[in-house]
Amino acid sequence: MPMFRFDPYSPLVDADPFPAYKTLRDEHPCFWSEEAGMWILSRYHDIVAAGNDWQTYSSARGNLMTELPGRAGATLGTTDPPRHDRLRGLIQQAFMKRNIESMGDNIRDIARQAAAELKGRKQIEFISDFSSKFTVRVLFAVLGLPMGDEQTVRDKAVLMVQSDPKTRAKGPEHIAAYNWMQDYAAKVIAERRANPTGDMISQFSLAEIDGDKLDEREVLLTTTTLIMAGIESLGGFMSMFALNMVDFTDARRQCVANPALLADAMEESLRYNTSAQRFRRSLQRDVELHGQTMKAGDFVCLAYGAGNRDERQFADPDKYDITRKPRGHLGFGGGVHACLGMAIARLAVRVAFDEFHQVMPEYLRVQEKLDWMPSSTFRSPLKLELSIK
């Protein structure tokens, strides 16, 4: 029998990681991936335990599987408590559900407008025709970014999270996109400091708690990360959700008939087709797990997408079931690093699909085989063509 391998840079894993995940969970729950140069944890229980133990599983050397230069140690996702909690404390308020709800009408207008542009079309490409327009406009509104550069910002955000499947690293085009985004963020920050408005970037570039402020690099990289996380994570998830909605006709029809069900369907899609598949930590001490010894300094991948299909936690995990209510799923991570943007994401996705379905209640998938984004961290299709009945 050939030796089992797991390569998160492989296009096969981009397309369908689930069979490999099952082998990992059942046979190699603590697996050293040579290709990735890190350990892979794939069982729900182990991932939650690691996520809880930030003293051992540190984010300070980066949390993206393929990290971007200079990011480690300077953003929410790449620092540990107490520094992380301080950064998060400065901005969390603005992202809480009750403070997001006031943006509901604004987000609905954006969704309605993006959906209206689709009226009368026989076929659409969901990502370029709808979700990317919607996500970038929502994020610009939420963060208070000046309108005008949306398309470029979106393209760079998508590029910077990708990696080169051949070199297994960020290529020059990915780094260039990241640098472009930092320059862009720097301009917006300077603008807002000079002329503060009530928006989020003004708030946290000036925020102070007990005389403590974010330093320049923190403001810059936090802004850059928010733009990247907001656009890429939200857009990526929306295309996965659309894929589930087109493939599972009954679930979609139920959501069309009763849009209140979209909230449950979204949680099930976060579990079933986790768009933020894998993040990493680095070990602060030696850890023994499932008969393996992981060494201090080693990187460990938390495969959220695998934990979300763990039959030890979720009954019949490969079944898409919008009545499941998969509480505790790992689609937004968990613990101190749980996604900051989840209240925005939940509101935005619900509203977007509600409006989309008003214009297009019935649709079919055009491509039999999808092309997937080359990314070791995220998973989503590059294009999703839908034909309208």
Partner 1 sequence: MPQITYIEASGQSTTVNVPEGWSLMQGATANGVEGILGECGGSCACATCHCYVDEPWLAKLSAPTEGELEMLENTASERKANSRLACQIKATAALDGMVVHLPESQE
List of residues contacting partner 1 (CB under 8 A)? 44-45, 48-49, 52-53, 88-89, 92, 95-98, 313, 327-328, 332-340, 342-343
Residue 353 in the binding site for ligand HEM (CB under 6 A): no
Could you say which residues in the range 81-120 bind ligand HEM, by CB under 6 A?
A: 88
Strand partners, 1: none
Instruction: Tell which one of 153, 207, 234, 256 touches ligand HEM (CB under 6 A).
Output: 234
Question: Quick one: 52 or 123, whose CB is closer to partner 1?
Answer: 52
Selected range binding ligand HEM among 25-33, 124-132, 228-236, 320-328, rule: CB under 6 A = 228-236
Instruction: Tell which one of 6, 237, 299, 314 touches ligand HEM (CB under 6 A).
Output: 237
Please state the closest distance from residue 168 (CB atom) to partner 1, in A.
30
Residue 333 in the binding site for ligand HEM (CB under 6 A): yes
Residue 262 in the binding site for ligand HEM (CB under 6 A): no
Question: Quick one: 52 or 293, whose CB is closer to ligand HEM?
Answer: 52
Peptide bond into 381 cis (omega under 30): no
Residue 66 in the binding site for ligand HEM (CB under 6 A): no
- At residue 117, φ and ψ (nearest 5 deg) are -65, -15
Question: Quick one: 7 or 67, whose CB is closer to ligand HEM?
Answer: 67
Instruction: Tell which one of 226, 283, 351, 386 touches ligand HEM (CB under 6 A).
Output: 226
Question: Quick one: 351 or 384, whose CB is closer to partner 1?
Answer: 351
Please state the closest distance from residue 47 (CB atom) to ligand HEM, in A.
9
Count CB-CB contacts under 10 A for residue 146.
12
Question: Quick one: 59 or 202, whose CB is closer to ligand HEM?
Answer: 59
Helices (H), the chain: 11-15, 18-27, 44-52, 83-95, 97-100, 104-116, 126, 132-143, 150-160, 172-194, 200-206, 216-228, 234-247, 249-257, 262-272, 304-307, 342-359
> Is the torsion defined by CA of 150, 154, 160, 166 positive or negative?
negative
Please state the closest distance from residue 280 (CB atom) to ligand HEM, in A.
8
Residue 134 in the binding site for ligand HEM (CB under 6 A): no
Of 279, 280, 283, nearest in space to 56 by CA: 283
One DSSP character per residue, 90-146 reads: HHHHHHSHHHHGGGHHHHHHHHHHHHHTTTT-SEEEHIIIIIHHHHHHHHHHHHTPP
Count CB-CB contacts under 10 A for residue 288.
9
Instruction: Tell which one of 136, 229, 294, 306 touches ligand HEM (CB under 6 A).
Output: 229
Selected range binding ligand HEM among 1-9, 14-22, 151-159, 339-347, rule: CB under 6 A = 339-347
Binding partner at 96 among ligand HEM, partner 1, none, C-beta below 5 to 8 Å by kind: partner 1
Of 349, 374, 309, nearest in space to 108 by CA: 349
Question: Quick one: 342 or 388, whose CB is closer to ligand HEM?
Answer: 342
Angle made by CA atoms 191, 194, 198, in degrees to the nearest 5: 80
| Interaction pattern, residues 290-309, with ligand HEM; x per rule: CB under 6 A | --------------x-----
The CA distance from 389 to 383, in Å, is 19
Q: With beta carbons less than 8 A apart as the criterion, state whether 134 and 112 touch.
A: no
Please state the closest distance from residue 212 (CB atom) to partner 1, in A.
14
Binding partner at 11 among ligand HEM, partner 1, none, C-beta below 5 to 8 Å by kind: none
Of 333, 53, 91, nearest in space to 212 by CA: 91
Please state the closest distance from residue 341 (CB atom) to partner 1, in A.
11
- At residue 10, φ and ψ (nearest 5 deg) are -80, 135
Binding site for ligand HEM (CB under 6 A): 59, 63, 76-77, 88, 225-226, 229-230, 233-234, 237, 275-276, 279, 304, 331-333, 337, 339-341, 344-345
